[in-house]
Structure 1
Amino acid sequence: MADRMGARAAIAALTTEFEELRETAAPGPDGAGDGPLSWAGYAESRVRAAARTGEDESVVYGLASVGGRRCVLVSFEFGFLGGSLGQRTGDRLEAAYEAARVRALPLVSLIATGGSRMQEGMVALTQLQRVARASARLRAAGPAQLAVLRDPTTGGGWATLGAGADVILALPGAQVGFAGSRVRPPDADPHAYTAEGQLAAGQIDAVVPPDELPGTVAHWLRALRGTDFPASPAPVPHALSATGLPVTGWDAVRQARSPARPRAEAYLDAYFDHRLPLTGDRCGGTDPGLLAGFGWRDRRPIAYVAQCGTPTRPAGYRTAARVIRLADRLGVPVLTLIDTPGAANDAAAERAGAGAAIADAFAAIAGTRVPVTTLVIGEGGSGGALALAAPGNTHVTRDSYFSVIAPELAAAILKRTPGEVHATADQLRLRPQDLVELGFARSVVGPPGE
């Protein structure tokens, strides 16, 4: 179980620069007597909660600076009726989102809540709709939303402020799930309701130790600040291999499949000064063969999506589309690195919606307003690779190839013998120099200094 702290202690652990704001909305029905349901003893419960915590509601919000980056900060007080959401909580959350929208600042939420406040019944539950509308207005205006999941983050707080954020961080051991510990099935796997379990399931982006949280949030605020339109394209990375151009089509395939060839991780390490990964498709899936997130290069944020040489799974395409759309909203240019033999096509991938996921990746690239730069660093296998390639701004290394289909599969479809695979590779014109001549690639990229 993660340590629980109050709203102001959580703020103090993140920043010393905080100016509290107060909502201007009139007190709702919970502010009089025993609330909208006339729940016996509710008024006394509020009085005791206020005496115990020093707060008059379950949420504190205001203007803050984290690592020199300004934001609107929301912090939940779990000690006040379990951090539950009532009408006055909704007032404050709506005011916090509006403050972020008006000031064009990102919203950071430090969440610790047990869900909607039972003593207010449906009045409390409908606050989730208010939060969702406020979040949608802020998203439409552009600023990013970042959630930090404390212990516990359950119910409607998880299903709105938490899971609805652009970037989701969690403290180690935090209880995270729609169902709280008192309402789960008796045979529930407890790991499924932890920060670590949600990370494995692709629902959150990172589990961050408390002492690293201020620096991590500051890095994210720096990366998510965006740029003014139109953004300039991300520079094309240098090749990390000095191999020569392939002579034949099969030479190109062999070089791209070489286990000694530099992979995506090496390219990203060489390209960025600092990287902040985003993980998972928010649908219960992750793809270890795809790296995505935001990086910092020459004092400038750039989003990245990189294939790692394996067949890309549906979760990978959905993660890629999520990152590309976030970058587009913030005005951050995108870099994609292509390296896959193709999309995963096993039964599990088909059941997970491979076709729809690939279509969504194509749509994300096609619909983005920010420039996308692509470098093919290895295998470019059919539509599974093309889905992440930038039309008109794709470049290739000398140890890469791109083809409508792998030569072996092309030969099989054409009912050719295995001995004709090499000739088929030549006919496909898949070498880097062929790709430039055909107009697919703009250039063949060499190592630094060339």
Structure 2
Amino acid sequence: MTDRLSARAFLTLVTDDSTFTELPYPARLAKPDGPLAWQGYDASRARAAERTGESESVVCGTATVTGTPAVLIAFEFGFLGGSLGERTGDRLEAAYTYAREHRLPVVPLVATGGSRMQEGMLALTQLQRVAHQSALTRETGLPQIAVLRDPTTGGGWATLGAGADVILALPDAQVGFAGSRVRPPDADPTAYTAQAQLAAGAVDAVVQPEELRETLGRWLGLLTSPAQEVPLPASLGTATGLPATGWAAIHRARSPERPRAQAYLDAYFTDRVRISGDRCGGTDPGMLCGFGARDGRTVAYAAQTGTATRPAGYRTAARLIRLAGRLGVPVLTLVDTPGAANDAEAERQGAGAAIADVFAAVAAARTPVTTLVIGEGGSGGALALAAPGNTWATPDSYFSVIAPESAAAILKRPPTQVEATADQLRLRPQDLLELGVIRGIV
């Protein structure tokens, strides 16, 4: 299997030819059979070294990936199951430190069973050490892109893997906090796969081995080339002029012929990659989030697709906006939703908290956020994604405090009064401009 390649073979798979240079490693005074004097530990390490040609479970160095330089951390699973011990921690800390000093992104290529039992709690505390290094790197605005190989379990998954900004995984890789030998006997093994983690919102993409270098290179290139501002997209709608009435605006925005977010993203970006999932167990196909190339520089995007937005969609958008802020990338949001999902399941999934999270992310954004309303702007579920003072609208859109049908129902008006209610709500693009809700009409 490709994902069971040695550390160095896997590095050859993902890096440009002859560009990998191994970093020097810190020296640590060896104790007989390790810090716990675990009988036979030295012999186990010696056998592992002879079998793999490595002196520890990670190989760290610099290389370019389709032209973008990075620090890469490749796990050698053949060395005691890719487990983390004190000397592993030394190497990881040195690699992260080098990355910060030289302003390089970090790419962990993870294949590990977890912490090394023969070093006891001293091995387990390396996870805190790794988490600290990852946090320092995050604070300096450097991206971390993890590649999950087979297996990625235990503390390695819970730090280097799940703690990365973007997570790619190889097909059928075993991914989960619990390794195969310590799970409940009745545990469903399909829940511990890369595909299951993708479905649960914990992984951004499952990538075929032969596509990994190109995919990783695209991610690295985009996350290290931020734009300074967001050029406003042009309207793709075919409607001429502005809607004469509120109900005409509703009719235009709800038209099945009106272009949706996918068409806008295709027209706006020359290349783009997508993040997926809220890292809390959910995904929402009605919210498209990611990074794209526009005029050779990177803009992040969060786009509603015309459906009622689920809590997972809001949490994914908030994750995207905060990540873009850390990396210095401006954000484009496309608003198009009849409103937030309001079914019982959405409430159980924390709809209110998820919407609040997006409001907070936009309000505290470190980089410019530009919004274009391209269709329906349904109440707070749409407003959460809109940039205060920098929201624009297309001629085939509307923005309203509530849908006219719902407003009429609340006011106990008959259905025949829905159209008149739409006019009263002043939801047309030209109304919004006059009221100062939007900056302009595209």
Under TM normalisation by the shorter chain, which class is it? over 0.9
Q: 2:259 aligns with which of 251, 262, 284?
A: 262
Measured in 2, the distance between the counterparts of 1:70 and 1:270 equals 29
Measured in 2, the distance between the counterparts of 1:384 and 1:189 equals 36
Paired residues for 1:179-194 under 5 Å: 179-194=178-193
Q: Is the 8 A contact 1:2 1:174 kept in 2?
A: no
Letter in 1 for 2:387: A
Consecutive unaligned residues of structure 2, counting only runs of 5 or more, are: none
Measured in 2, the distance between the counterparts of 1:2 and 1:14 equals 12
Q: 1:237 aligns with which of 222, 230, 233?
A: 233
Measured in 1, the distance between the counterparts of 2:3 and 2:278 equals 28
> What SS does the corresponding residue of 1:259 show, helix, strand or coil?
coil
1:18 aligns with 2:20: yes
Letter in 2 for 1:37: L
Measured in 2, the distance between the counterparts of 1:35 and 1:130 equals 19
Q: CA deviation at 1:144?
A: 0.6
Measured in 1, the distance between the counterparts of 2:385 and 2:35 equals 52
Letter in 2 for 1:21: L
Aligned equivalent of 1:448: none
Matched residues, percent identical? 71
- RMSD value, Cα: 1.0
Aligned equivalent of 2:312: 315
Letter in 1 for 2:299: I
Aligned equivalent of 1:36: 35
> What SS does the corresponding residue of 1:65 show, helix, strand or coil?
strand
1:8 aligns with 2:13: no
Paired residues for 1:39-438 under 5 Å: 39-227=38-226, 232-244=228-240, 245-438=242-435
Q: CA deviation at 1:269?
A: 0.6
Superposed CA deviations along residues 355-374 of structure 1, whole A, max 9, x for unmatched, are 11111101111101211111
Measured in 2, the distance between the counterparts of 1:238 and 1:254 equals 21
Letter in 2 for 1:12: T
> What SS does the corresponding residue of 1:376 show, helix, strand or coil?
strand
> What SS does the corresponding residue of 1:115 show, helix, strand or coil?
coil
Letter in 2 for 1:241: G
**Deviation beyond 6 Å, 4+ runs, structure 1:** none
Measured in 2, the distance between the counterparts of 1:5 and 1:102 equals 30
Q: Is the 8 A contact 1:2 1:151 kept in 2?
A: no
Q: CA deviation at 1:308?
A: 0.5
Measured in 1, the distance between the counterparts of 2:59 and 2:366 equals 36
Measured in 1, the distance between the counterparts of 2:390 and 2:170 equals 40
Consecutive unaligned residues of structure 1, counting only runs of 5 or more, are: 446-450
Q: Is the 8 A contact 1:2 1:173 kept in 2?
A: no
Q: CA deviation at 1:2?
A: 6.2
> What SS does the corresponding residue of 2:333 show, helix, strand or coil?
strand
Letter in 2 for 1:95: A
Aligned equivalent of 2:28: 27
Q: Is the 8 A contact 2:7 2:75 kept in 1?
A: yes
Q: Is the 8 A contact 2:433 2:441 kept in 1?
A: yes
Letter in 1 for 2:218: H
Superposed CA deviations along residues 18-72 of structure 1, whole A, max 9, x for unmatched, are 1101233x416xx321111111110000000000000000001011111111111
Measured in 2, the distance between the counterparts of 1:219 and 1:211 equals 14
- How many residue pairs get aligned? The number is 439
Letter in 1 for 2:7: A
Measured in 1, the distance between the counterparts of 2:287 and 2:2 equals 30
Q: Is the 8 A contact 1:226 1:331 kept in 2?
A: no
> What SS does the corresponding residue of 1:378 show, helix, strand or coil?
strand
Q: Is the 8 A contact 1:226 1:330 kept in 2?
A: no
> What SS does the corresponding residue of 1:360 show, helix, strand or coil?
helix
Measured in 2, the distance between the counterparts of 1:239 and 1:190 equals 48
Superposed CA deviations along residues 383-440 of structure 1, whole A, max 9, x for unmatched, are 1000000111111111100000000111111111111111110000000111111111
The farther-off stretch of 248-257 and 183-192 is 183-192
Q: Is the 8 A contact 1:338 1:379 kept in 2?
A: yes
> What SS does the corresponding residue of 1:403 show, helix, strand or coil?
coil
Letter in 1 for 2:5: M
Per the normalisation by structure 2, the TM-score is 0.98
Q: Is the 8 A contact 2:2 2:209 kept in 1?
A: no
Letter in 2 for 1:383: G
Letter in 1 for 2:270: D
Letter in 2 for 1:22: P
Measured in 2, the distance between the counterparts of 1:94 and 1:350 equals 42
Superposed CA deviations along residues 188-210 of structure 1, whole A, max 9, x for unmatched, are 12221111110011000000111
Superposed CA deviations along residues 137-178 of structure 1, whole A, max 9, x for unmatched, are 111111010000000000000000000000000011111000
Measured in 1, the distance between the counterparts of 2:69 and 2:421 equals 58
